[in-house]
Structure 1
Amino acid sequence: MRAIVLQDKEQSLQVQEVETPKPAAGEVLVRIKAAAFNHRDLWIQKGQYAGLRYPIILGSDGAGVVTEVGDGANEHWLDKEVIINPGLHWGDDPNFHSKQFKILGLPDNGTFAEYVVVPASALFNKPAYLSWEEAAAIPLAGLTAYRALFTRGKVKQGNKVLISGIGGGVALMAMKLALAAGAEVYVTSGSDDKIDRAVQLGAKLGINYKINGWHKLFQSAVEGFDVIIDSAAGDGFKNFVDLANLGGRIVFYGGTQGPITSLNPQKIFWKHLNIMGTTMGTPAEFEEMVKLFETHQIHPVIDKIFPMADAEVAIRKMDEASQFGKLVLQGF
């Protein structure tokens, strides 16, 4: 089969012929119709991710058709259109993942190929109203956003939600899901254009975090936030403590700006704040996320669709941080 192979760190993504995998007991073979990028793919290419191994076929997100089932895998999946939950072996405790937890695309070969082998337990029916490209855009970002919003953040109708770094896949997914749940959504970005586009999609207000004192502009416009979803952390994280309402929930799923510094403990305990980290989610949350998409007929935001052979062009676009939404690859 053809696959996009990363031979080593800081190498370009290349189309290569590799052996088609065979499903073992409890596994299935999926013919990939579309796949999508996440930032972990870029970090793996740069050698900035844990547990690196090369060569590797990247890709956590994928949608396709089941073409073969291994022993013990439910035969009803054969020929079904599916999306893949990339979070494998979560474990029995819904509060945190097991030591065996891993994400498709490292250490196991991922979805940037004609075929991928995954556990049958990772399969979910593809929502019929979505295109292949839209379905492939959902899994990792949708699951991360769902758990951050609803399991950790406990977002309810009427809540005021602030989402940082709008334009990224998870942030836009969180905005779409929060709006579907009846929340008021506000956003930050370093790009005025991305803020304008988010407002067109339903955000109430956006402020550029490059403005000195940006959080004070929010304070003058909004009476605090019930839930804040962040992916950057860093020194600016302390501003969220000022922006949060009493009993507010601050949830973060990334740390692209480095360690969180200069938090005022008095403000945190006096406001009864909850500051929580989150990563991916459970199979049950994945199922609930898909149901929310179907109930509200939500379409993920896609920046651009590339042929699978142009994976290196797509990942360079991600490296430039110029995208607004997901970068998707059409299957070979």
Structure 2
Amino acid sequence: MKSVVITAHGGNEVVEVREGERPRRRPGEVLVRIHAGTLNQVDLYMRNSGAGITHELPLVMGLDGAGVVEEVDPDEERLAVGQKVVIHPGLSCGRCEFCLRGEDSLCTRMKLLGEHINGTFAEWISVPSRNVFPMPNHLDFLQAAAMGVNYLTAWRMVFTKAQVKPWETVLVFGVGGGVSLAAMQLARSTGARVIVTSREDDKLEKALELGAHEAINSRSEEVAKRVKDLTDGRGVDVVIENVGEAVWSSALKSLVRGGRLVTCGATSGDQPPADIKRIFIRQLQIIGSTSGTLAEFGAMLTYVERHGITPVIDSSYSLEAVHQALDRLEAGDRMGKVGMKFHSK
């Protein structure tokens, strides 16, 4: 079995394609032959240092994966051999206080594929059956793999945390990234008005083609001022962002009184000015969000199929071309998901 393995921490020189043994399925697990996976920023983080994440090397990379069921328990009723499936990357304990109340994304013993344990960038993987879900029928393997991190994260932000309503206006920062693109598509599907930002005109044009109502070039325009112009001075009901420090001030200033800001990342820094006076005077809500629960994953997949939502794929590589895929992930001009297709024997 071929897999993509981190052997140390550094650059692409620590990432290897290795031959190894196919995993053995344990009771309660499903053996999946992976056909495709998509890359996430955390893959770069694990390659570079993995600081703060408990893990052992060598480690198989990858959180996202979609493929075909090869083996299941004889009494498995939900999944069948030969079925096309997508994997939820979070292995929760099922017993802590958060799991017991249905908030398994907050599990105190959470293990994430590709971070704490071997991940999806392999020709086969065996995971608990509760982490395996039928693929939406309209998606191919590469598109389905994108559901695991970006779309699940965006789903929780848009629906569970922000609870976006059809009559509201939503501002999405950095629309070239996977989570932001997913959030734009999901928010748009509710009927909400969606405004997006990017520093690149071509990304803004693509976002408009995909359904965004207005687009703001954050390199040449002052975002908060432009938002107020577009909303007749009112501001937006919801901000979706994962950039952090670089956009924080603009994000807060763009909100209507009582508005909600949902954040899931801090790629530009995690210590912005708090602007506490603005928060309490305007009664703003600042909401953190990470990943999503198993129940949210199932609901999202059903919703995506029903609404015909299709992830944007920037580029695709073979497993052997993982270095090029990682380089593309780091490139600032990409739009959508970078993926890899695997060819199992």
Normalization by structure 1: what TM-score?
Answer: 0.95
3-state SS of paired residue (1:303): strand
- Relative distance call for 1:94 and 1:257 in structure 2 (3 A) is farther
1:237 to 248, 267, 278: 248
1:156 to 157, 162, 165: 165
1:185 to 194, 197, 222: 194
For residues 239 and 325 of structure 1, the distance between their equivalents in structure 2, rounded to whole angstroms, comes to: 24
2:33 counterpart letter in structure 1? R
2:126 counterpart letter in structure 1? V
1:42 counterpart letter in structure 2? L
Match of 1:92 in 2: 100
* 1:123-134 superposed matches below 5 A: 123-134=132-143
Match of 2:83 in 1: 80
2:157 counterpart letter in structure 1? A
1:205 to 214, 225, 235: 214
Query: What residue ranges of structure 2 are gaps of 5+ in the alignment?
Result: 94-98
Q: Does 1:3 align with 2:3?
A: yes
State the percentage of identical aligned residues. 36
Would you say the 8 A contact 1:26–1:71 is kept in 2? Answer: no
For residues 263 and 67 of structure 2, the distance between their equivalents in structure 1, rounded to whole angstroms, comes to: 31
Q: Does 1:63 align with 2:66?
A: yes
3-state SS of paired residue (2:106): coil
* 1:240-279 superposed matches below 5 A: 240-279=251-290
2:62 counterpart letter in structure 1? G
- Relative distance call for 1:71 and 1:109 in structure 2 (3 A) is farther
Q: Does 1:108 align with 2:111?
A: no
For residues 214 and 267 of structure 2, the distance between their equivalents in structure 1, rounded to whole angstroms, comes to: 23
- How far apart are residue 24 of structure 1 and its match? 1.4
Bigger shift: residues 141-150 or 306-315: 306-315
3-state SS of paired residue (1:263): coil
3-state SS of paired residue (2:65): strand
- How far apart are residue 94 of structure 1 and its match? 4.0
2:332 counterpart letter in structure 1? A
Match of 2:96 in 1: none
- Relative distance call for 1:104 and 1:71 in structure 2 (3 A) is farther
Bigger shift: residues 70-79 or 264-273: 70-79
Q: Does 1:16 align with 2:18?
A: yes
- How far apart are residue 286 of structure 1 and its match? 0.6
Q: Does 1:216 align with 2:225?
A: yes
- Relative distance call for 1:17 and 1:199 in structure 2 (3 A) is same
- How far apart are residue 202 of structure 1 and its match? 1.2
2:279 counterpart letter in structure 1? I
- How far apart are residue 292 of structure 1 and its match? 1.1
Bigger shift: residues 165-174 or 228-237: 228-237
Would you say the 8 A contact 1:23–1:70 is kept in 2? Answer: no
Would you say the 8 A contact 1:127–1:294 is kept in 2? Answer: yes
Bigger shift: residues 202-211 or 250-259: 202-211
Bigger shift: residues 293-302 or 71-80: 71-80
Query: What residue ranges of structure 1 are gaps of 5+ in the alignment?
Result: none
For residues 102 and 206 of structure 1, the distance between their equivalents in structure 2, rounded to whole angstroms, comes to: 38
For residues 239 and 256 of structure 1, the distance between their equivalents in structure 2, rounded to whole angstroms, comes to: 16
2:295 to 274, 284, 303: 284
1:93 counterpart letter in structure 2? R
- How far apart are residue 208 of structure 1 and its match? 2.2
1:221 counterpart letter in structure 2? L
Bigger shift: residues 83-92 or 116-125: 83-92
For residues 246 and 15 of structure 1, the distance between their equivalents in structure 2, rounded to whole angstroms, comes to: 52
Would you say the 8 A contact 2:223–2:250 is kept in 1? Answer: no
2:177 to 165, 168, 171: 168
Would you say the 8 A contact 1:28–1:73 is kept in 2? Answer: no
Total equivalences in the alignment: 332
- How far apart are residue 214 of structure 1 and its match? 3.0
For residues 71 and 58 of structure 1, the distance between their equivalents in structure 2, rounded to whole angstroms, comes to: 30
Report the RMSD for the aligned CA atoms in angstroms.
1.8
For residues 175-194 of structure 1, give each alpha carbon's deviation from its aligned partner in whole angstroms, at most 9, with x where no partner exists: 11111111111111121221
For residues 4 and 72 of structure 1, the distance between their equivalents in structure 2, rounded to whole angstroms, comes to: 32
- Relative distance call for 1:62 and 1:146 in structure 2 (3 A) is same
